[in-house]
Structure 1
Amino acid sequence: MSAWRAVGLNYINYSNIAAKVLRRALKPELRAEAMRRDESRIRITPWANGKPAHEKE
């Protein structure tokens, strides 16, 4: 059994923790660029009748 599974983590949680540790270990000049990769954005598109329903502003 994998060490991460033995402590009750799934692979996504394990890889997120490993990525954060790696980013913190980088040299300061490289850390800023790597920390920007840690940000994530999602866009939710509502669907109606099998097509994306766009909200009019």
Structure 2
Amino acid sequence: MSAWRQAGLNYVNYSQIAAKLVRQALKPELRVQAAKRDESHVKFTTWKDGKPITEKL
């Protein structure tokens, strides 16, 4: 059994922790670039009868 499994982590949690530690170990100029890649955006679309429902803001 792997060490991360024995610690009670799943692979996703383990990889997130490892990625965070690697980013912290980078030089400052490279850390900024790595932080930009860490961002993610999610867009949700509600569907009804096979068509997306658009809401006007």
Q: TM-score, normalised by structure 1?
A: 0.87
Displacement of 1:54 in angstroms is 1.2
Q: Residue type matched to 1:22 in 2?
A: V
Structure 1 residues without counterparts, runs of 5 or longer: none
TM-score scaled by length of structure 2 = 0.87
Find the residue that maps to 1:40 and give its secondary structure. coil
3-state SS of 1:8 partner: coil
The whole-number CA distance in structure 1 between the counterparts of 2:50 and 2:8 is 38
Q: Which residue of 2 aligns with 1:14?
A: 14
| Structure 2 runs not aligned, ≥5 long | none
The CA RMSD over aligned residues, in Å, is 1.1
Percent sequence identity is: 63
CA distance in 2, matches of 1:9, 1:52: 37
User: Where does residue 54 of structure 2 map in the other structure?
Assistant: 54
